[in-house]
Amino acid sequence: MTISDHGARHVAIIMDGNGRWAKKRLLPRVAGHKAGVEAVRTIVRAAGDLGLEAMTLYAFSSENWKRPEEEVSDLMGLMKRFILSDLDEFAANDVKLKVIGNWRALAPDVVALIDNALERTAGNKRTTLAVALNYGAQDELVRAASAAAAQGDITAEAIEANLDTADMPPLDLLIRTSGEVRLSNFLLWQSAYAELYFTDKLWPDFTPADLKAALDQFARRDRRYGGL
């Protein structure tokens, strides 16, 4: 039995519950986001070990701008520090970074940092880590449909080819932590036939064993795609 016998190539995660994790400990929300970054580190390492080709993580949605300015700036600061501090580890573990969403609209220093990280990891092959930043699936679909229209006919294939995830394997499994049971504008097109997995665990508490449990359950699901 090999590590990828679960059959999943691409897993996406809505990393939710950082704020509640902090609240339970009477800590400020930013402490939850910091703990969330630690969980990201551990899960990215586990993704490669579990034989996944790609993992997409929802880090900041196009709706998260509604949060207080201080929290938005804390999140951007953590994002910058994560990219800077983990770039060497991506190189060591053969992780290729990808960013999806309208990230070019972020502050110039964040854009420069991302550009550099993309360039430095472009040749890596083992696992693709896609971080969804300023991402909203409706925005992605509008951009993809406009691009398809500019190229010719708006067909499903043309839209798919213009999605931010176009060069990634099809989405197999979508996980959401924290007990919320909704997609919150994440990968709406890509999840058409993805398996969904919801857990009550808050994101900072989510471990590689939890990821493994989700993949074990995925392996037992019967995907029919409308057939028999």
> Taking CB under 6 A as the rule, does residue 59 contact ligand IPE?
yes
Residues 11-70 that bind Mg ion (CB under 5 A): 16
> Taking CB under 6 A as the rule, does residue 64 contact ligand IPE?
yes
> Taking CB under 6 A as the rule, does residue 70 contact ligand IPE?
no
- To the query of whether residue 64 is one of the catalytic residues in this protein, the response is yes
Burial of 142 (C-beta count, 10 Å sphere; 0-12/13-18/19+): exposed
> Taking CB under 5 A as the rule, does residue 204 contact Mg ion?
no
Closest-approach residue to ligand IPE (CB): 19
Among ligand IPE, Mg ion, none, residue 136 binds (CB under 5-8 Å by kind): none
Residue placing its CB nearer to ligand IPE in the complex, 45 or 201: 201
Structure tokens at 207: 């471990």
- Helix (H) or strand (E) holding 54, with range, is strand 54-61
CB count in 10 Å sphere of residue 138: 11
Residue placing its CB nearer to ligand IPE in the complex, 203 or 218: 203
The CA distance from 74 to 81, in Å, is 11
Query: Which residue from 89, 58, 67 is spatially nearest to 178, judged by alpha carbons?
Result: 58
Residue placing its CB nearer to Mg ion in the complex, 101 or 121: 101
The CA distance from 182 to 168, in Å, is 23
Concatenating the DSSP letter of every residue in 21-76 gives: HHHHTT--HHHHHHHHHHHHHHHHHHHHHTT-SEEEEEEEETTGGGS-HHHHHHHH
Residues forming a β-bridge with 132: 58, 100
> Taking CB under 5 A as the rule, does residue 75 contact Mg ion?
no
Smallest gap from Cβ 152 to ligand IPE, in A, equals 34
Query: Pattern 72-111, binding to ligand IPE, x per CB under 6 A?
Result: ---x------------------------------------
Residues 12-31 that bind ligand IPE (CB under 6 A): 14-20
Please identify every residue annotated as catalytic. 16, 64
Q: Which residues contribute to the site for Mg ion (CB under 5 A)?
A: 16
